[in-house]
Chain A
């Protein structure tokens, strides 16, 4: 049996544990031996993204120590996975970083590429109209979807393909596949712009009459959720893993 190390990003651990629990349950339901190394910490993304790779080095080293021995490392977050995959090269020995990079997966990428769409076991129906927010790191760094500005043959909307296997779900894409404006510390440093971008995304989704907005990065959803709540827009925001695991109602 293949062993998976479950990586739970720091903010998911504290703010959205249901997304992590759902991830664990889905992986177990597909027959994997999933371990959760408790001493894990942040992947270091906020430090990398703010030009402080040296401060992130110890976090990267800790990550390798905790997750280096697993067959796969899976996390419910495309931006953290993209960090491990592409940014660790800056601070770790190249071979080590590349070897690790090949074994890390965002959950939906794992389900699509490793488990296979036809072999999915998704017993929980979700009869709702759902807007899918494709987060940028998933869409363009991990290639989980086909960005509207590219013309690459053979790319596929992995998240959408998996989600559409859920019984009763109606997945609706917004008219633009652009950034929601979260961007980590961007959301604070450029708060006016960030809020504008988020409101535009929400309006794009609500124009489609969706009840729920989902995605694979809870950080983007958290930002939009905060805006919708402030504006009194009755939308639900759930991580896509929760839909698969029947934890979204």
Chain B
């Protein structure tokens, strides 16, 4: 199995220095906005603890809340379906669309359908799927995947978007004025909304007590998309359920502030029943989540997908979301991917310096750096790290035998300063590719101490 080469991907991303700098600064700007928004809430830390308690409680009684949600939703006239994996989700959605005779679908943001490859599945069956979140539409036109869960096209500059829009939407080639481009996208999407036979949305929260789902967007595209067609299919991971609207109140205060620094998303829409004459179908998807619930990484199921950990991560900001080759990138994505396929994603828990900044911005107080630390244990067993494992085990032997270690260091002290430069600096010395190698001191500390004792 091929392993994701995060280091190589990151190095490729960094080649365009101006682009990489812009990416870093744009996301740092979002982080600063988050800091300001969080600081504006005096009880921020208490709020985080409350959110953590809400989600942990829900996970501890997940079966109860999912069943409650199902019965309440059904009582409200919502159809509820269960999918064990991505394939089942795709089949259920395709089946519903077929029943409805739907050929054109508008879809608002859903990382779950991205995870399950729904777009490609439907397109292969002759159904036109239009992503209606502006950033998602941009990456869709470019034939790419989102590089960030909240800002899907953050890796692209406006001039690239201008070129893309001129190709697909017929805008002026060199006009990269954001207002002009946004208007063009709006006109284009408006047409898609009017033509749509069905709407697909994600779900940010499902309320068990009330039996409804909540979708948060900043563009109102979920509301526009679901307004006209008679069929609305909402796709949710089973961890999205929360006890009730009171619990929701805690989480919505944190979600937008953590994500973009807004007090609340522009639209926080509640879908409690189908509209008159229409159908509202909710598909609850497992796709590995119940496995996570049984594992040591259970805590990551409390994630509300705000993206704050990505914005705060110095590695993510400088390597771009695509470097992770996952649906959800960054710190949380690395834990999720490594839990699911530790072999293929073995490099991701190591695409991290354990700086722990992600822990502090996470509204759910997920101990992400400890989760990544734990994931390394499994990742290290991967064949991709055979070489690294062997050299570290060798180092371990050396460190366990201080005399041997000191002998090696004495040799290094004698030899290193005398080596010709090209012996020290070549492609085998990864440290030295961009950095000078430190030289051992003339006298190690332990020798200084011996001399000090002797006086």
Q: Which A residues form the contact surface with B (CB < 8 A)?
A: 8, 10, 12-18, 20-21, 36, 38-42, 44, 46-53, 55-56, 58-59, 62, 136-137, 140-141, 147-152, 176, 178-179, 181-193, 195-198, 200, 222-223, 225-227, 229-230
Contact of A149 among B312, B352, B380, B393 (CB under 8 A): B312
Are B377 and A192 interface neighbours, CB within 8 A?
no
Are A151 and B351 interface neighbours, CB within 8 A?
no
Are A140 and B376 interface neighbours, CB within 8 A?
no
Are B353 and A52 interface neighbours, CB within 8 A?
no
Complex CA–CA separation, A182 to B314 (angstroms): 12
Are B350 and A189 interface neighbours, CB within 8 A?
yes
Are A227 and B443 interface neighbours, CB within 8 A?
no
16 contacts between A and B (CB under 8 A): A41-B399, A47-B395, A47-B396, A49-B373, A51-B376, A51-B377, A53-B377, A59-B399, A140-B357, A140-B360, A147-B360, A149-B34, A152-B45, A190-B350, A196-B20, A227-B435
A16 nearest CB neighbor, chain B only: B441
A188 proximity list for chain B (CB < 8 A): 430-431
Residue B400 is within 8 A (CB to CB) of chain A in the complex:
yes
Are B7 and A13 interface neighbours, CB within 8 A?
no
Residue B419 is within 8 A (CB to CB) of chain A in the complex:
no
Contact of B434 among A51, A58, A149, A230 (CB under 8 A): A230
Counting chain A CB atoms within 10 Å of each CB, the highest count among B389, B402, B439 belongs to B402
Are B441 and A15 interface neighbours, CB within 8 A?
yes
Complex CA–CA separation, A208 to B440 (angstroms): 30
Q: Which of B75-83, B121-129, B445-453 lies at the interface?
A: B445-453
Are A195 and B434 interface neighbours, CB within 8 A?
yes
Quick one: which of B301-360 are within 8 Å of A by CB?
312, 314-315, 318-319, 347, 349-357, 359-360
Complex CA–CA separation, A118 to B420 (angstroms): 51
Closest chain-B Cβ to A109's Cβ sits at a distance in Å of: 17
Are B440 and A15 interface neighbours, CB within 8 A?
yes
Complex CA–CA separation, A148 to B311 (angstroms): 13
B351 nearest CB neighbor, chain A only: A190
Are A52 and B445 interface neighbours, CB within 8 A?
no
Are B437 and A226 interface neighbours, CB within 8 A?
yes
**Chain B interfacial residues counted at CB < 8 A:** 70
Beyond A55-B396, A197-B315, 20 extra complex contacts between A and B, CB < 8 Å: A17-B443, A20-B445, A36-B446, A47-B399, A52-B377, A59-B399, A136-B354, A140-B357, A149-B34, A151-B44, A151-B45, A183-B355, A191-B433, A192-B434, A193-B7, A196-B20, A226-B431, A226-B435, A226-B437, A230-B434
A10-B399, A36-B449, A149-B312 known; A197-B318 Cβ under 8 A: yes
Complex CA–CA separation, A201 to B430 (angstroms): 20
Are A193 and B315 interface neighbours, CB within 8 A?
yes
Are A191 and B431 interface neighbours, CB within 8 A?
yes
Contact with A along B406-425 (1 / 0, CB 8 A): 00010011000000000000
Closest chain-B Cβ to A179's Cβ sits at a distance in Å of: 4
A190 proximity list for chain B (CB < 8 A): 6-7, 10, 315, 350-351
Residue B187 is within 8 A (CB to CB) of chain A in the complex:
no
Are A13 and B445 interface neighbours, CB within 8 A?
yes
Residue B361 is within 8 A (CB to CB) of chain A in the complex:
yes
Q: Lowest 6 A-B CB distances belong to which pairs?
A: A183-B353, A226-B435, A51-B376, A192-B11, A51-B380, A17-B445
Q: Which B residues form the contact surface with A (CB < 8 A)?
A: 6-7, 10-11, 14, 20, 24, 28, 31, 34-35, 38-39, 44-45, 312, 314-315, 318-319, 347, 349-357, 359-361, 373, 375-380, 388-389, 392-393, 395-396, 399-400, 402, 405, 409, 412-413, 430-431, 433-441, 443-446, 448-449
Closest chain-B Cβ to A92's Cβ sits at a distance in Å of: 16
Complex CA–CA separation, A219 to B395 (angstroms): 17
Are A196 and B377 interface neighbours, CB within 8 A?
no
Complex CA–CA separation, A226 to B448 (angstroms): 25
Complex CA–CA separation, A192 to B7 (angstroms): 8
Are A151 and B38 interface neighbours, CB within 8 A?
yes
Contact of A12 among B10, B318, B439, B445 (CB under 8 A): B445
Are B10 and A141 interface neighbours, CB within 8 A?
no
Are A14 and B413 interface neighbours, CB within 8 A?
yes
Are A17 and B400 interface neighbours, CB within 8 A?
no
Are A8 and B445 interface neighbours, CB within 8 A?
yes
Closest chain-B Cβ to A197's Cβ sits at a distance in Å of: 6
A20 proximity list for chain B (CB < 8 A): 445
Are B435 and A223 interface neighbours, CB within 8 A?
yes
Complex CA–CA separation, A87 to B258 (angstroms): 29
Complex CA–CA separation, A13 to B410 (angstroms): 12
A20 nearest CB neighbor, chain B only: B445
B433 proximity list for chain A (CB < 8 A): 191, 195
Complex CA–CA separation, A141 to B444 (angstroms): 29
Complex CA–CA separation, A149 to B380 (angstroms): 31
A36 proximity list for chain B (CB < 8 A): 446, 449
Are A178 and B355 interface neighbours, CB within 8 A?
yes
Are A10 and B405 interface neighbours, CB within 8 A?
yes
A14-B440, A151-B44, A195-B435 known; A55-B355 Cβ under 8 A: no
Are A230 and B315 interface neighbours, CB within 8 A?
no
Are A182 and B438 interface neighbours, CB within 8 A?
no
Complex CA–CA separation, A95 to B393 (angstroms): 28
A230 proximity list for chain B (CB < 8 A): 434-436
A79 nearest CB neighbor, chain B only: B354
A50-B388, A149-B360, A151-B38 known; A40-B318 Cβ under 8 A: no
Complex CA–CA separation, A197 to B433 (angstroms): 15
Counting chain A CB atoms within 10 Å of each CB, the highest count among B350, B351, B443 belongs to B350
B6 proximity list for chain A (CB < 8 A): 190
A225 nearest CB neighbor, chain B only: B438
Closest chain-B Cβ to A152's Cβ sits at a distance in Å of: 7
Complex CA–CA separation, A140 to B360 (angstroms): 9
Are B440 and A179 interface neighbours, CB within 8 A?
no
Complex CA–CA separation, A34 to B158 (angstroms): 61
Complex CA–CA separation, A176 to B34 (angstroms): 15
Closest chain-A Cβ to B405's Cβ sits at a distance in Å of: 7
